[in-house]
Structure 1
Amino acid sequence: MDNNNLHQLIDKYLQGTISAEEKEHLLLWYRQQQDQEGIWELEPGETEPEVGARMKANIWKNMEAAPVRKRLYWPYAAVAATLLLASFVVFMRNKSVQPEQQVAFSKSEGTANRFVLLPDSSRVVLRAGSKLSYPTTFDKETREVSLEGEAYFDITHKDRQPFIIHTGDIKTTVLGTAFTIRHPLGSKQIEVLVERGKVRVEDEKQVFATLVADQKIDIREPQSKPTVETINTASALIWKKQDMAFDAVAFGDLAKNLEKRYAVKVHFMNPDLQNCPVSGKFTGSETIEEVLLNICATRNAAYHKTADGVYEIQGTGCP
């Protein structure tokens, strides 16, 4: 049972509107999850003691309302009460706070970039020393993330769900697709550069600019109105291709770099394949699957992703 269905059943239980079939389904789930923690979401402004008291009162209300002739229901209800008040007194969080993912790595870890695939399939290339925070799912009216440092974004277009990047007090709303933002840690300077598409840059008081392809804005003082510059994005964005152009590099060495960039594990089914030279040239915003598909093709090899998320490379060694 997924969390959405679970929460719906729990809400019905607490409101006294749950059917006998739904109640049986809920209790069956508890019996199957005895060694795990469930998730209960607090209503806005509600405290843990309050929700606990509400649950307890409803449990006893349901027990007292049980028909006397169904004597076997009493131990069953007692088990339900124990489950609801013990194993179900669980991990609580407010509905207004979404679970958040965070990708952060310091320059001490090296200068290699980090690739991030967002929940909506948007792509981000994060530069060393940067931090990106985003929800585990984009289930609100807007898709919002926070950035410290520098990142390249290639955003999946959704007409009814705008994508917004927060950098300090500045908000960048995506009206197109590909662009970069630079917001040095501890600095008020924010630079936005558009490769293609269109973005709007603003704060709470004013819209600074709407940028299109090959335009850049550099905001140093939020109180001022900065000018928009025309630039050569190809040269300005060369950093995102770092380490993604290689010639006759050992497949094993490349795999180690890919593991760091994409935060994955790569395993060679045939160890001899690790010594084979591979070559390739990428833009830097490709997924790990797109990179492996192309590289494996040059060595007549193939990859397979296991249930554990490991990318297994299969193929013969080189002559």
Structure 2
Amino acid sequence: MWYYHITDDFMDNSNLQQLIDKYLQGTISVEEKERLLLWYRQQQEEENIWELAPGETEQQVGERMKANIWAQMDNIPVRKRVYWPYAAVAAALLLVSFSILMWNKSTSNEQQVAFSKSEGSANRFILLPDSSRVVLRAGSKLSYPNTFDDATREVSLEGEAYFDIKHRNNQPFIIHTGEIKTTVLGTAFTIKYPTDSKQIEVLVERGKVRVENEKQVFVELVADQKIDLKESQLKAKVEKINTALALSWKRQDMSFDALAFGDIAKNLEKRYGVKLHFINPALENCPVSGKFTGSETIEEVLLNICATRNAIYRKTADGEYEIQGEGCQ
């Protein structure tokens, strides 16, 4: 969540704030969008080309771009407060609408491995290189590449995870669990694969998935359906389930009832693998209440939590989050 401070005479006497408002509301004209993007390009001291450094993902280069945008915005004189009602919309403001030339100087696509085994009972949120979301249950392991450059997006899972997959028409998403693979035909689902039992459970919240091995397709599941399947099994029985109840684990530690902001921050640091810093230490003791599904990004969570305390947050150039606001009485 951000508050922007903007003057009317900025950007050739046009109101930059008004253009941003129109952009977020989807009412901006082609001409106005061109003017907005022209302003951004004019703020750059170098040619508008953003390179992918070795081992860097598109998401990371996006963060570098956002840091540049914040640096430009900080120099704008104060006039009024504007509250952005949607998580991460302002953060992504100019990243989704203009063409950027990027190339990777490294041809390697090194494997990334995300664990939640060392964090006790804490679940772990993962944002994949394609912006798909994963909630990895404690004791689980997810392996995935730096970037999804192949014809398919493939990951490997041990344990249990919730997936909310970003759709790509020509690049299917596949999860490998032992000899079984699950291909995403829809969006949100969970897979449970305890390596000691070789029993695979697939549960679909919405959309559709296909479960198969090298020899056969077992089933295509739709919303509120699940199967339990052994790797040696030839047939699988489809069950109707209560999805909300079955997925209650991903909401663990994401409901707060008058909990101190500082304690919430510690939980969020573990879940999202980030660092949170309070500019005003008095804010840490303020009680905060909130309820989340568990699949929100850290920006979406901070947006809502900060709103309850009339606070703001900002992601710094080194990837930490700074929270600013007054303390409570």
Q: TM-score, normalised by structure 2?
A: 0.68
- Asked if the contact 2:180/2:231 (under 8 Å) is kept, the reply is no
- Structure with bigger helix share is 1
The secondary structure found in structure 2 opposite 1:196 is coil
Give ranges in structure 2 of 5+ residues lacking alignment: 1-49, 55-103
- Which residue of 1 is the match for residue 292 of structure 2? 282
- Which residue of 1 is the match for residue 240 of structure 2? 230
Shift of 1:256: 0.3
Alpha-carbon distance change, 290 to 4 in structure 1, aligned in 2, over 3 angstroms: closer
The percent identity for this pair of structures is: 75
- Which residue of 2 is the match for residue 135 of structure 1? 145
Q: How many residues align?
A: 231
Please tell me whether residue 99 in structure 1 is matched to residue 106 in structure 2.
no
- Which residue of 2 is the match for residue 31 of structure 1? none
- Measure the CA separation in 2 of the matches of 1:120 and 1:39: 19
The secondary structure found in structure 2 opposite 1:179 is strand
- Which residue of 1 is the match for residue 163 of structure 2? 153
The secondary structure found in structure 1 opposite 2:155 is strand
> Where in structure 1 do 4 or more consecutive aligned residues deviate above 6 Å?
none
Between the two structures, name the one with larger relative contact order (CA 8 Å, sep ≥ 6).
2
Shift of 1:3: 6.3
- Measure the CA separation in 1 of the matches of 2:326 and 2:186: 44
Letter in 2 for 1:109: E
Please tell me whether residue 197 in structure 1 is matched to residue 215 in structure 2.
no
Alpha-carbon distance change, 274 to 40 in structure 1, aligned in 2, over 3 angstroms: closer
Shift of 1:298: 0.2
1:161-240 residue pairs with structure 2 within 5 A?
161-240=171-250
The secondary structure found in structure 1 opposite 2:202 is strand
- Which residue of 1 is the match for residue 123 of structure 2? 113
- Measure the CA separation in 1 of the matches of 2:199 and 2:188: 21
Shift of 1:220: 1.9
Alpha-carbon distance change, 295 to 207 in structure 1, aligned in 2, over 3 angstroms: same
Q: TM-score, normalised by structure 1?
A: 0.70
- Measure the CA separation in 1 of the matches of 2:180 and 2:259: 42
Shift of 1:4: 9.1
The secondary structure found in structure 1 opposite 2:166 is coil
Shift of 1:140: 1.0
Letter in 1 for 2:246: A
- Asked if the contact 2:200/2:231 (under 8 Å) is kept, the reply is no
- Asked if the contact 2:116/2:122 (under 8 Å) is kept, the reply is no
Shift of 1:40: 6.5
Output the aligned Cα RMSD.
1.8
- Measure the CA separation in 1 of the matches of 2:281 and 2:231: 55
Shift of 1:112: 1.3
The secondary structure found in structure 2 opposite 1:283 is coil
Please tell me whether residue 302 in structure 1 is matched to residue 315 in structure 2.
no
Give ranges in structure 1 of 5+ residues lacking alignment: 6-37, 42-94
Shift of 1:39: 7.0
Alpha-carbon distance change, 139 to 310 in structure 1, aligned in 2, over 3 angstroms: same
- Measure the CA separation in 2 of the matches of 1:204 and 1:196: 25
